[in-house]
Chains A and B, each alone.
Chain A
């Protein structure tokens, strides 16, 4: 089942009197349970593409179908609904609410979805257990380590059972060891049947994915499946 179908999308920003072509002509299909890394140097348009995929922004031209529904023409509120139900975001800077504990942070998307209190709480706690934070349910972000914070953010992304997980440089603010742990968690999530889109500029992070899409100057430079060797390598590190 194709989840994301992008055809010939372009995005033009106006900066003063100048037009910036962030994306020129990008077509991309992402299937269910794919693990895709989007790579590219800064200015390549990968952030713009990610915003587009995450329904945070709409293209200037072209077609974007999410699970067969066109989102290019949607209103702000309709987009908000799609983001809430279908997309789980993981950010480089975690973006947790500083004054709320882990459970409340994870509950947040469920509040906007209108899930009843008891069910909301139960699902949030379960999501935190799934990411290995059983003992940290009522800790506030400043009482958690960087890795733990990112786990809370991942739990928040997973709690709504979204169609895709969109991770923007998820290890960018973590040391390499913690980064590897987070990537292992992503791997696990992928194994459970989730679709993951990872935006990064780190080659070794991208290697965790099964497919790497490289962008350059607003165009797709390459789109390749990764050798299975990497996957077996990761599996072997996980089993250790």
Chain B
């Protein structure tokens, strides 16, 4: 046991000396491992970061909300079939609301993209949602300041607006937005409420923080073309457990509203956050596979490089191997010596890769919140060690089975 320990220590010393005396060669050899570990660790931290933001963002949409829409978010139905569907109208919404018993809240929604201005500040391409007071019940909105627009304001199509936290930050960096007058597409609106931060950057313009909420009648009044567009009916189930039943009922009610006979297909879609999740998963899956491929490739190339250099190293030190064997080094001693050397090269490359991954993550952190996971650190180290051992086996074995007589004679 003690002998093995000494041999291990000696092996480490030999490896360190060998690497130190061939610095440039060792560095070039490490490159493949370096890139591989950098990619795998950066990828996994970035994906973790995106994942966290996405989950946070999607939960702001609520898992118990259904969206009855002319368009399906994700489906195999041809787009032109959906285009030919009838628009969902306010009258249909009223009928649906009366007939549907299970939902805890039902709200009509229409949105238009507008530029929002306050004095000389402006935000472009903002989703302006028109709805009624029930809208807030279909969300988990919390307010930083003020309130949602009231039923009176809604029914009277008043020029009032509730703004998302990001919009508030951009238009009113220093002052409270409440009771200020903003311009939406040229019309004046009084701000009555500001949302607390809801979603996450990852949803982009779909993030509630980047949106503005006004009474639906106001939209029809000010942006007349919207009168002919299809609305969306947001339906909230009484609990997440009731989502499926609520969906079944909504489908039945909607068919009834539309007057569809049993052999006709639905001419509307019921969308769910779940679809978003699935879509997201498949996108992330592709990114992960691509990352895995790059990592695998660079590790493979790296491993070949290391194997190559280890063969050179074994050849160069043939005489030394002969001597070590002559004075009592066993096969396993020589094997361990070269395995240690290749592992060491890989580990140094791996640590350098980790370091660069940490720096890269800090850089990415400027855009997406990332966090280095202890799991990815272990993964990086593990991968480099494994590569070192695998690529070292063949050269180390060659060295171990050398005939001492031949090796000593080698010039």
User: Quick check: is A46 within 8 A (CB to CB) of the other chain?
Assistant: no
From residue A180, how far is it (CB to closest CB) to chain B in Å? Answer: 26
Checking A89, A100, A112 against B7 with a beta-carbon cut-off of 8 angstroms, the contacting residue is A112
Which residues in chain A, 92-134, are within 8 Å of chain B measured between CB atoms? 95, 97, 99-100, 108-109, 111-117
Q: How far is the CA of A14 from the CA of B327 in the complex (A)?
A: 27
- Interchain nearest-CB distance for A229 vs B (Å): 35
CB distance from B18 to the nearest CB of A (A): 8
Nearest A residue to B325 via CB reads A80
Contact with A112, one of B319, B322, B331, B333 (Cβ below 8 angstroms): B333
Cβ-closest chain B residue relative to A48: B405
The interface bits of chain B over 1-27 (1 if a CB of A lies within 8 angstroms of the residue's CB, else 0) are 011001100100000010001000000
Interface residues on A, range: 20 to 34
B257 within 8 A of A: no
CA distance A89 to B327 in the complex (A): 7
Residues 57-93 of A, flagged 1 when their CB comes within 8 A of B and 0 if not, give 1000000000000000000110011011100010100
B379 close to A (CB within 8 Å): no
B161 to chain A, nearest CB (A): 77
The interface centre, meaning the residue of B6, B326, B404 with most chain A CB atoms within 10 A of its CB, is B326
Is there an interface contact between B329 and A99, defined as CB atoms closer than 8 Å? Answer: no
Q: Which of A77, A99, A108 contacts B327 (CB 8 A)?
A: A108
State which of A51, A81, A97, A116 has its C-beta within 8 Å of the C-beta of B328: A81
B394 is an interface residue with CB less than 8 A from chain A: no
Q: Cβ of A108 and Cβ of B326 under 8 Å apart?
A: no
Q: Quick one: CB contact mask for A3-26 with B, threshold 8 Å, 1 for yes?
A: 000000000000000000000000
Question: Does B258 make an interface contact (CB < 8 A)?
Answer: no
Contacts of B123 in A (CB 8 A): none
Q: Which residue from B320, B328, B330, B404 sits with its C-beta under 8 Å from A109? A: B328
Q: A2 interface residue, CB < 8 Å from B?
A: no
Is A141 part of the binding interface, using a Cβ–Cβ cutoff of 8 Å?
A: no
Q: List the B residue with the shortest CB-CB distance to A156.
A: B327
Interface size on B, residues (CB 8 A): 25
Q: Which residues of B contact A51 (CB under 8 A)?
A: 405
Point out the residue from B21, B324, B403 that lies within 8 Å of A99, measured CB to CB: B21
Contacts of B403 in A (CB 8 A): 57
Residues A111 and B2 in contact, CB atoms below 8 Å apart: no
With both beta carbons as reference points, the residue of chain A lying nearest to B332 in the complex is identified as A77
Q: How far is the CB of B318 from chain A (nearest CB, A)?
A: 12
In the complex, the answer to whether B3 meets A114 with C-beta atoms within 8 Å is yes
Q: Is B323 an interface residue (CB 8 A)?
A: yes
Q: Given A84-B328, A85-B328, does the pair A95, B323 have CB atoms closer than 8 Å? A: yes
Say how far B304's CB is from chain A's closest CB, in angstroms: 27
Given A85-B328, A111-B7, A112-B329, A95–B21 Cβ distance below 8 Å? Answer: no
Decide if B126 is an interface residue (CB 8 Å cutoff). Answer: no
> Does B408 interact with chain A (Cβ within 8 Å)?
yes
A91 and B408 contacting across the interface, CB-CB below 8 Å: yes
1/0 contact trace for B293-330 toward A, CB 8 Å? 00000000000000000000000000110111111111
CA–CA, A77 to B408, complex, Å? 18
**16 residue pairs from A and B, CB less than 8 Å apart:** A51-B405, A57-B405, A76-B330, A80-B328, A85-B328, A91-B408, A95-B319, A108-B10, A109-B328, A111-B7, A112-B324, A112-B328, A112-B330, A113-B328, A114-B3, A114-B6
Since A54-B326, A80-B325, A112-B330 are in contact, a sample of 18 more A-B pairs with Cβ atoms closer than 8 Å, ordered by chain A residue number, is A56-B326, A56-B405, A57-B403, A80-B329, A80-B331, A83-B328, A95-B408, A97-B320, A99-B21, A108-B10, A109-B328, A111-B10, A112-B324, A112-B327, A112-B333, A116-B2, A117-B6, A156-B327
Shortest Cβ-Cβ A-B pairs, 6 listed? A84-B328, A114-B3, A112-B328, A95-B323, A109-B327, A80-B330
Which residues of B come within 8 Å of A, CB atoms? 2-3, 6-7, 10, 17, 21, 319-320, 322-333, 403-405, 408
